[in-house]
Amino acid sequence: MLPVRDTVLYPQMVTSLFVGRPPSQKAVEHAEHAGLPLLVVAQRDQEKEEVEPPDLFDVGTTAAIGRTLKMPDGTLSVLLQGQERVRVVDWVSGGAFLQAVAAPLPDERVQEDLALLAQRVLELFEHCVRLSPHLGQEAYVAAMNAGEPGRLADIVAATLNLTLAERQSVLETTRPDARLGRVADLLDKELRVLDLQRQIQEQVAQELGRATREQVLREHLATIERELGSADPFQREMHELRERVATSDLPPAVAARAREELDRLATLPPAAPEVAIIRTYVDWLVDLPWCAVSEEVLDLPRAERVLDETHFGLEKVKERIIEYVAVRKMAGAQLRSPILCFVGAPGVGKTSLGQAIATALGRCFVRVSLGGIRDEAEIRGHRRTYVGALPGRVIQTMRQARVVNPVFMLDELDKLGLDFRGDPAAALLEVLDPEQNHAFSDPYLDLPYDLSHVLFIGTANTLDTVPPALADRLEVIELPGYTEEEKLEIARRFLLPRQIAEHGLPAGHLALTTPALRQLVRGYTREAGVRSLERELGGICRKLARQQVRRSGPARRLTERILARYLGPPRYRWGLPEAEDTVGVTTGVYWSESGGDLAPIEVQLLPGKGKLILTGKLGDVMKESATAALSYTRAQARELGIAPDFCDRLDVHIHCPAAAQPTDGPSAGIAMATALVSALTRRPVRRDVVMTGEITVRGRVLAIGGVKEKVLAAHRAGVRTVVLPKRNAKDLDDVPADARQALSFVLVERMDEALRAALCVAPAAG
Ligand SMILES: Nc1ncnc2c1ncn2[C@@H]1O[C@H](COP(=O)(O)OP(=O)(O)OP(=O)(O)O)[C@@H](O)[C@H]1O
Ligand SMILES: [Mg+2]
């Protein structure tokens, strides 16, 4: 007897079994030797290792042994062919293996014809084979050729996937009709299972088809592209671009254009020259801000605080900015932003003020320098057909901003050039015009771009060279430059603390005495703004930082003497009045961007024929002024006590050595005339008088500019009296009070009044 765990052997079936249990192996060997059939019976409990007769079914199958093979793991592979159904009738006790006496159990005879039933089973089986992924065609062929109905049932039962109990029950059914019926039931059940499986599969496929098909496909595509990716960066980039276009927040028109371009890109071979162009273009479309805004903060006190924290003085400018914030708060976004333009000398804080405005409004700050731009295409960009074409500066800067409402500084409007390549100012006009700038056109983009949310701020050193059409659109705010006192204050409050921090020194580590600071301003800088001042302070901090490395000392208090040690001898000298009252020399006062200063005006009379010699880098206006002064003197010679024919005997040389700086303007007129009269009358000029004013040939004195700076220069130089045109009286209001009090002003309408104020009464001896 060979007990088996998980199978049932049917008559005539061939099967191969692995026999592992030693008693079973002995049984096989014995049967083989003795030429006896092996009795194959299934165990009731498959798990049981050592089986006793009660553990086995009563009905089994006798089998002939085909061949046996010893396997490397010690088991025995046995090929068996089933012979006939048997029922165990008696057990043979004792022995190394189970032995039993069995009686054959032949199929019962039945009256009725089973052909119909067999036909039905065969049909069901065929259906099953067709549906099942596990059954092969050969199983059906075997069933077709079964011959007897009972055998057909056995074949079908052997091939189907049945439980051991089901198999055993087929084995135990000896009536062929009953067995066929039983098998038909099992087939039916199997078919229903198969059908259900098919239904589920179809349903899943359908659902996938509807909802997830696209995603699955996309994933496939991504996988394919990824797979290809290592070999084909082009595909990968294409995919990335598409993703970016899909995920970016683009207006419909822009998104449509981007997709259009991508579709075109997809049709091109990767090596085509247009590929790079299109890719860059789509990059630009995606990178530009189209909708993103930074939230504007319209908080008056905050804005005021920010401006005060970053900039000293500049009251008028700050006021204008606060007004803007206030109006905007009330009028909302539909208010057309004014285009402010800061005009002033270098370093007066134009750029930094723009930045402060952005901070005050909580908006992003960007800046474009227009210096040296001569080509319209630099502002607007080139058409894409150009090799290496890019958008213009405006669009480039908007990309930097990443939002559509930055504070946008147009720096150096006055340095804008103009030549045959078109007028960049014309392009700027469109940028700044509120009627047009909601659809700014850049030929590269080829799509209108909305600049209307931008707050533009221009800067220029002077308005003279700003194209008039452009200047017309700007609301000009002048930053006049700082007086010495203001510079001291700015240095103390802003520049020094900042430089100390930037150089990594402890806060408050360095202090300058007021005289030292004043000396720094006077002797080491010459400017209207404070940039050099800041640089010099930086220089001092650098030196200190170096010492700091060597030894840490107490906080430094810088005096004038130490200043010279750090920075070397002073670089600039300010004009000073003459040491004593002198014949033929007046002290003029001029004004330049870097402030006012004194300059002597010398007249020398030479033997000659009335020629006027002018030296000292004078401009045309100043030369004309000198001529006017000479004509006045000649015309008034008699009243002034001068020989009327002096021009027949003398040449007049006027020299204006204003530190070799080119100077121009009419304001030296009365000073030149005074020096000339002094030289001719030999009446000395009072050394403590400075004078400024334009002269006419009839001796009238006309108004001039730069009064504030000129008066401050006089004050700084320690002069006592300033001769000014009467028409400039109103400008004295701008002069700081301390300077106004220390000086006396002689306001003149006519030249003789000026002479009276400047000339000593008695002629010099000799
Ligand atoms: N009123 C001020 N208060 C504090 N700091 C100031 C003031 N004015 C200018 N500064 C400082 O001076 C430096 C130069 O200023 P900024 O660069 O803004 O000058 P600018 O007018 O733009 O000059 P440019 O015409 O050369 O561009 C900055 O560091 C700025 O902070
Ligand atoms: Mg600047």
Ligand (nearest to CA of 352): 1
The most confident of 387-391, 455-459, 566-570, 759-763, by mean pLDDT:
455-459
Q: Could you tell me the pLDDT band of residue 366, with boundaries at 50, 70 and 90?
A: very high
Average pLDDT estimate for 477-494:
88
- Going by DSSP bridges, is the β-strand pair 2-4/38-42 parallel, antiparallel, or unpaired? parallel
Name the segment(s) of the chain with CATH classification 3.30.230.10.
585-758
Ligand (nearest to CA of 495): 1
Residue linked to tokens 């107490």: 554
484-567 classified as CATH 1.10.20.10: no
Q: Is the pLDDT of residue 696 over 60?
A: yes
Q: How far is CA 647 from the centre of its chain?
A: 74
Q: Residue 646 corresponds to which amino acid?
A: F
- Measured from the CA of 352, which atom of ligand 1 is nearest? 18
| Rounded distance from Cα 728 to ligand 1 centre (Å) | 30
Name the segment(s) of the chain with CATH classification 1.10.8.60.
484-567
Average pLDDT estimate for 739-761:
93
Tell me what pLDDT residue 473 has. Answer: 87
Q: Could you tell me the pLDDT band of residue 552, with boundaries at 50, 70 and 90?
A: low
- Measured from the CA of 494, which atom of ligand 1 is nearest? 4
512: β partners? 558
Tell me what pLDDT residue 286 has. Answer: 93
| Rounded distance from Cα 335 to ligand 2 centre (Å) | 27
Q: Could you tell me the pLDDT band of residue 411, with boundaries at 50, 70 and 90?
A: very high
List the Cα angle 507/509/512 in 5-degree steps. Answer: 115
Protein residue whose Cα sits closest to atom 31 of ligand 1: 352
- First and final C-alpha spacing in the chain: 162
Q: Which among 667, 708, 726, 730 is annotated as catalytic?
A: 667
Is there a catalytic annotation at residue 441? no
Protein residue whose Cα sits closest to atom 2 of ligand 1: 311
Tell me what pLDDT residue 523 has. Answer: 87
Protein residue whose Cα sits closest to atom 14 of ligand 1: 347
Tell me what pLDDT residue 333 has. Answer: 65
Protein residue whose Cα sits closest to atom 24 of ligand 1: 346
> Fold for domain 2-104?
2.30.130
CATH number of 300-479: 3.40.50.300
Q: Is the pLDDT of residue 428 over 80?
A: yes
Which residues are CB-neighbours of 550 under 8 A, at least 6 positions away? none
CA contacts within 13 A on the Cβ side of 182: 25
| Rounded distance from Cα 411 to ligand 2 centre (Å) | 6
Protein residue whose Cα sits closest to atom 30 of ligand 1: 349
Encode pLDDT of 258-275 as tens digits. 999 988 888 888 788 888
| Residues flanking ion ligand 2, Cβ below 5 Å | 351
Average pLDDT estimate for 493-512:
87
Tell me what pLDDT residue 420 has. Answer: 63
Write the secondary structure of 47-60 as one string of H (helix), E (strand) and C (coil): CCCCCCHHHECCEE
Q: Could you tell me the pLDDT band of residue 227, with boundaries at 50, 70 and 90?
A: low
Tell me what pLDDT residue 138 has. Answer: 86
Q: Six-digit token pair at 584?
A: 């033929």
* Ligand 1 binding pocket mutation candidate from 457, 477, 494 (most atoms within 8 A of CB): 494
Q: Which among 350, 487, 708, 710 is annotated as catalytic?
A: 710
Q: Is the pLDDT of residue 551 over 80?
A: no
Average pLDDT estimate for 622-649:
92
Tell me what pLDDT residue 410 has. Answer: 93
Encode pLDDT of 16-33 as tens digits. 999 999 999 999 999 988
Ligand (nearest to CA of 355): 1
Q: Is the pLDDT of residue 659 over 70?
A: no
Q: Which helix (H) or strand (E) holds 456?
A: strand 455-460
Ligand (nearest to CA of 354): 1
Tell me what pLDDT residue 421 has. Answer: 65
Among candidate residues 453, 447, 449, the one with its CA nearest the CA of residue 434 = 453
- Measured from the CA of 355, which atom of ligand 1 is nearest? 18
Q: CA dist 2 to 64, 487, 659, Å?
A: 12, 115, 128
Tell me what pLDDT residue 699 has. Answer: 92
Q: Assess contact for 300 and 417: CB atoms under 8 A.
A: no
| Rounded distance from Cα 323 to ligand 2 centre (Å) | 23
Protein residue whose Cα sits closest to atom 27 of ligand 1: 346
* Ligand 1 binding pocket mutation candidate from 314, 350, 352 (most atoms within 8 A of CB): 352
Tell me what pLDDT residue 81 has. Answer: 93
Q: Is the pLDDT of residue 113 over 60?
A: yes
Q: Is the pLDDT of residue 554 over 70?
A: no
Average pLDDT estimate for 454-468:
89
Average pLDDT estimate for 587-593:
84
Protein residue whose Cα sits closest to atom 5 of ligand 1: 311
Q: Assess contact for 85 and 39: CB atoms under 8 A.
A: no
| Rounded distance from Cα 206 to ligand 2 centre (Å) | 67
Tell me what pLDDT residue 232 has. Answer: 66
Q: What is the SS3 assignment for 735?
A: coil
CA dihedral 547, 551, 556, 558 (to 10 degrees): -40
Q: Is the pLDDT of residue 603 over 90?
A: yes
Average pLDDT estimate for 548-559:
68
Q: Could you tell me the pLDDT band of residue 751, with boundaries at 50, 70 and 90?
A: very high
Tell me what pLDDT residue 208 has. Answer: 66
Q: Could you tell me the pLDDT band of residue 660, with boundaries at 50, 70 and 90?
A: low
Tell me what pLDDT residue 212 has. Answer: 66
Q: Assess contact for 60 and 40: CB atoms under 8 A.
A: yes
Encode pLDDT of 124-164 as tens digits. 999 888 888 888 888 889 888 888 888 999 999 998 888 89
Q: Assess contact for 631 and 751: CB atoms under 8 A.
A: no
Q: Is the pLDDT of residue 229 over 60?
A: no
Q: Is the pLDDT of residue 250 over 80?
A: yes
Top-confidence residue, 329 or 586: 586
The most confident of 244-253, 465-474, 518-527, 679-688, by mean pLDDT:
679-688
| Rounded distance from Cα 429 to ligand 1 centre (Å) | 27
| Rounded distance from Cα 752 to ligand 1 centre (Å) | 44
Encode pLDDT of 165-212 as tens digits. 999 999 999 999 999 999 999 999 888 888 888 888 887 777 766 666
Encode pLDDT of 310-363 as tens digits. 999 888 889 988 998 888 888 776 677 788 999 988 899 999 999 999 999 999
Name the segment(s) of the chain with CATH classification 2.30.130.40.
2-104
Protein residue whose Cα sits closest to atom 11 of ligand 1: 349
* Ligand 1 binding pocket mutation candidate from 531, 535, 593 (most atoms within 8 A of CB): 531
Tell me what pLDDT residue 661 has. Answer: 66
Q: Residue 15 corresponds to which amino acid?
A: T
> What does the mean pLDDT of the chain come to?
87
Q: Is the pLDDT of residue 556 over 90?
A: no
Give the phi and the psi of residue 725 in degrees, each rounded to 5. -65, 140
Q: Is the pLDDT of residue 652 over 80?
A: yes
Top-confidence residue, 721 or 505: 721
Name the segment(s) of the chain with CATH classification 3.40.50.300.
300-479
Protein residue whose Cα sits closest to atom 15 of ligand 1: 349
Average pLDDT estimate for 406-426:
82
Mean pLDDT check: name the lowest of 222-231, 369-378, 541-550, 643-652.
222-231
| Rounded distance from Cα 7 to ligand 1 centre (Å) | 98
The model's pTM is: 0.63
What residues does ligand 1 touch, defined as CB less than 6 Å away? 311-314, 344, 346-352, 459, 461, 490, 494, 529-531, 534
Average pLDDT estimate for 551-556:
64
Q: Is the pLDDT of residue 231 over 60?
A: no
Task: Please state, for a pLDDT cut of 90, what percent of the chain lies above it.
Answer: 42
| Rounded distance from Cα 311 to ligand 1 centre (Å) | 9
Right CATH number for 585-758 from 3.30.70.1050, 3.40.50.720, 3.90.1150.10, 3.30.230.10? 3.30.230.10
* Ligand 1 binding pocket mutation candidate from 351, 489, 533 (most atoms within 8 A of CB): 351
Ligand (nearest to CA of 488): 1
Tell me what pLDDT residue 297 has. Answer: 87
Is there a catalytic annotation at residue 667? yes
